[in-house]
């Protein structure tokens, strides 16, 4: 059986699925002639190690333990959820022998499904966005799956998107079963019953923060919920790439306009049913460069070869470790392996071609901040419209970050949005600005390249410069033009 009763009412996939088998070997005792082996590759899923980071954190930082999910047979955490949903569907009669499994995937869920399908005798059809690495596509084909590649830069509801294409194939294929990982509560249940208890047992409950990237939301919603129930005071920190909708929605309750980002496996352009924000204490944003640089450092300094979503989580965890300090323990999920990104960010050429590995003298946001230092004018949640308008007028600015009383940035207030709301009678000068606040867009770090800054300005955004959780600058097109003019002189 895949599931057994676990400790304290939890469920987990036990190490059984293995059995001791007598081999025909010469030995002094029967015990010496036996070995622990797995019945098949599926029983090898789970029980991945926790590994302490040593070089990426300092002596006065919190302890950071990484959960090496790339050591699953399919090289990602998605093996857990895929097998759980498939076996539950079998028990409930939703998936019949010889059936077809259809799913939209960024590659990792597909790999987990394809492994199970190979063992159990199912056919697979997957849809994948065209931004995914060729390695991810080819390994699914190597396991006998059919892969339909769809355009990345289309809305989720577009019939060409990988979501809608999978739904269409599911409707048109007799007897097909669709995991529906993005909205299936069994995604959450898998991590609540398996991943969460496993982490709790490994740490003996001595964990203060749980850090996980937000994609479908299943890992955070399931494992995060279990850990919160078992460990009083534990904080769950989600990680979201710039361009995704989660961070803005968590902080403002509004959906921002998504845009394309390069890191794979985290972030969404829609809200997923498997994402339960009630268990989340904080969501932090990372840009593509931060994800890739952290993943490359993880490989080169810690010997841990993981993907870009792992880099995103590690980047946030290392920041958090400095903030909370020695004596705390942070568990971080590393969702997948670096092996499927060798032609992407683990390649110097790819990093250079995409502006993430700077040529000498190419320039970064830090260079512009050197020309433009000063206090960042901010508004607070609950501020009145008239007071914010007056502050903008006094300081000659057209937008301001909006902070919580604790100083955490939750969005931006723009003069254009103020004007529209006032003219349309959707707001009065005596009202709070809260209903007008827009999600943060164009978030960069001091190390972001000037090429990336140019891309942000091309989308008609200002650039919000964050160092950790603190906003240290607001840059506009004229700031970049002025910087280029100064350096051309």
- Which CATH number goes with the domain that contains 451? 3.10.580.10
State the residue range of the domain holding 11. Answer: 4-44
* Domain match, 68 and 85 both: no
| Partners of 242 in beta bridges | 244
Q: How far does Cα 233 stand from its chain's mean position?
A: 23
pLDDT (tens digit, 9 = 90+) per residue, 392-425? 999 888 889 898 887 778 888 999 899 999 999 9
Q: Is 26 domain-assigned?
A: yes
Mean pLDDT of the chain: 89
> Is residue 27 scored above 50 in pLDDT?
no
Same domain, 215 and 328: yes
Token pair of 458 as six digits: 């091309």
Summarize pLDDT for 91-139 with one digit per residue, the tens: 999 999 999 999 999 889 999 999 999 999 999 999 999 988 888 899 9
What's the rounded mean pLDDT across residues 333-347? Answer: 95
Note whether 207 and 96 are within 8 A (CB).
Answer: no
Whole-number Cα distances in Å, 162 to 156, 259, 411: 8, 16, 30
Tell me what pLDDT residue 358 has.
Answer: 64
Q: Which residue has the higher pLDDT, 489 or 379?
A: 379
Enter the pTM of the model. 0.76
Place of tokens 């919000």: 464
When pLDDT is cut at 50, 70 and 90, the band that residue 20 belongs to is: very low
* Stretch 80-93: mean pLDDT: 98
Phi first, then psi: what are they for 463, rounded to 5°?
-105, 125
239, 336: one domain: yes
Is residue 186 classed as helix, strand or coil in its secondary structure?
helix
Contact criterion met (CB below 8 Å) for 188 and 205:
no
**339: exposed, middle or buried (C-beta count within 10 Å: 0-12, 13-18, 19+)?**
middle
Flag whether 469 is in a domain.
Answer: yes
Co-location of 217 and 340 in the same domain: yes
Residues 6 or more apart from 56 whose CB is under 8 A from it? 64, 294, 297, 298, 301, 302, 314, 318
Residues 40 and 54 in one domain: no
Query: Are residue 244 and residue 376 in the same domain, yes or no?
Result: no
Give the integer Cα–Cα distance in Å for 277 and 313: 17
Same domain, 370 and 411: yes
Helix (H) or strand (E) holding 213: strand 209-213
Confidence band (pLDDT; 50, 70, 90) for 150? Answer: very high
- Judge whether 479 lies within some domain: yes
345 and 199 in a single domain? The answer is yes
Please tell me whether residues 342 and 403 are part of one structural domain: no
Question: Mean pLDDT throughout 309-317?
Answer: 98
Q: What is the DSSP string of 415-432?
A: HHHHHHHHHTTS--TTSB
Q: Which of 286, 319, 353 is the last residue of a domain?
A: 353
Q: Is the dihedral of CA 27, 28, 32, 33 positive or negative?
A: positive
How far from chain centre, in Å, is Cα 281? 15
Which residues have C-beta within 8 Å of that of residue 224, sequence separation ≥ 6?
196, 210, 212, 236, 279, 280
| Structure token pair of residue 307 | 């993907």
Q: Are 150 and 162 in contact (CB under 8 A)?
A: yes
Looking at residue 65, which CATH number applies to its domain?
Answer: 3.40.50.1100
Q: Is residue 245 domain-shared with residue 268, that is, in the same domain?
A: yes
> Based on the structure, what is the number of domains in the chain?
4
Instruction: Give the pLDDT of residue 477.
Output: 87
Q: Where are the beta strands (DSSP E) in 337-469?
A: 379-380, 399-403, 409-414, 443-444, 463-467
Question: Does 260 fall in a domain?
Answer: yes
188 inside domain: no
Catalytic residue among 52, 55, 67, 78: 78
Give domain status of residue 359, yes or no: no
Bridge partner list, 4: 12
Assign 3-class secondary structure to 17-43.
CEEEEECCCCCCCHHHHEEEEECCHHH
The Cα–Cα gap between 243 and 187 comes to 24
Q: Is residue 111 part of a domain?
A: yes
Instruction: Tell whether the model's pLDDT for residue 164 goes beyond 50.
Output: yes
Q: Give yes or no for a contact between 224 and 210, defined as CB atoms under 8 angstroms apart.
A: yes
Residues 419 and 378 reside in one and the same domain: yes
- Find, among 387, 439, 433, 389, the residue nearest to 410 by Cα: 439
- Evaluate whether residue 187 is within a structural domain: no
pLDDT of res. 67: 99
Give percent above pLDDT 90 in the chain.
66
The question of whether 78 is a catalytic residue gets the answer yes
Give the separation between CA 36 and CA 433, rounded to whole angstroms: 63
Same-domain status, 285 and 242? yes
Q: In this predicted model, what pLDDT tens digit does every residue of 423-445 receive, in sequence order?
A: 999 999 999 999 999 887 888 88
């Amino acid at each position: 059986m895949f599931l057994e009763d676990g400790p304290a009412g939890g469920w987990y996939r036990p190490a059984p699925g293995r059995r001791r088998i007598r081999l025909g070997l010469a030995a002094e005792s029967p015990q010496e002639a036996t070995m622990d082996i797995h019945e098949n590759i599926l029983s090898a899923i789970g029980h991945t190690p926790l590994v302490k980071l040593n070089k990426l954190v300092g002596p006065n930082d919190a302890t950071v333990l990484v959960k090496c999910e790339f050591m699953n047979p399919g090289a990602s955490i998605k093996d857990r959820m895929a097998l759980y949903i498939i076996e539950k569907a079998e028990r409930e009669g939703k998936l019949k022998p010889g059936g077809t499994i259809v799913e939209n995937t960024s590659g990792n869920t597909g790999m987990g499904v394809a492994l199970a399908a190979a063992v159990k005798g199912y056919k697979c059809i997957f849809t994948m966005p065209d931004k995914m690495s060729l390695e991810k596509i080819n390994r699914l084909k190597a396991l006998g799956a059919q892969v339909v590649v769809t355009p990345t830069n289309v809305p989720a509801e577009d019939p060409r998107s990988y979501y809608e294409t999978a739904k269409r194939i599911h409707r048109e294929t007799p007897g097909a079963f669709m995991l529906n990982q993005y909205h299936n509560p069994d995604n959450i249940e898998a991590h609540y019953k398996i991943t969460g208890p496993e982490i709790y047992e490994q740490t003996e409950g001595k964990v203060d923060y749980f850090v996980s990237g937000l994609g479908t939301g299943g890992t955070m919603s399931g494992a995060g919920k279990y850990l919160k129930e078992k460990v009083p005071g534990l904080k769950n920190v989600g990680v979201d790439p710039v361009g995704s909708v989660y961070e803005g929605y968590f902080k403002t309750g509004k959906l921002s306009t998504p845009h394309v980002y390069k890191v794979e496996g985290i972030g969404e352009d829609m809200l997923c049913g498997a994402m339960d924000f009630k268990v989340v204490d904080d969501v932090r944003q990372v840009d593509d460069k931060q994800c890739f640089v952290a993943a490359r450092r993880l490989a080169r300094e810690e010997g841990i070869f993981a993907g870009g979503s792992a880099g995103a989580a590690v980047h946030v965890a290392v920041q958090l470790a400095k903030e909370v300090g020695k004596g705390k323990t942070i568990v971080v999920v590393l969702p997948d392996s670096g092996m499927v990104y060798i032609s992407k960010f683990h390649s110097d050429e790819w990093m250079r071609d995409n502006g993430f590995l700077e040529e000498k003298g190419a320039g970064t946001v830090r260079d512009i901040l050197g020309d433009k230092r000063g206090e960042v004018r901010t508004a607070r949640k609950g501020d009145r419209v008239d007071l914010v308008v007056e502050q903008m007028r006094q300081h000659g600015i057209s937008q301001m970050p909006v902070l919580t009383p604790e100083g955490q940035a939750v969005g931006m207030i723009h003069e254009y949005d103020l004007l529209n709301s006032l003219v349309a009678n959707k707001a009065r000068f005596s009202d709070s600005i809260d209903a007008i606040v827009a999600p943060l867009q164009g978030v960069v770090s001091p190390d972001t390249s000037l090429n990336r800054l140019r891309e942000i300005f091309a989308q008609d955004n200002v650039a919000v410069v964050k160092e950790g959780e603190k906003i240290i600058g607001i840059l506009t097109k004229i700031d970049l033009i002025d910087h280029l003019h100064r350096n051309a002189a």
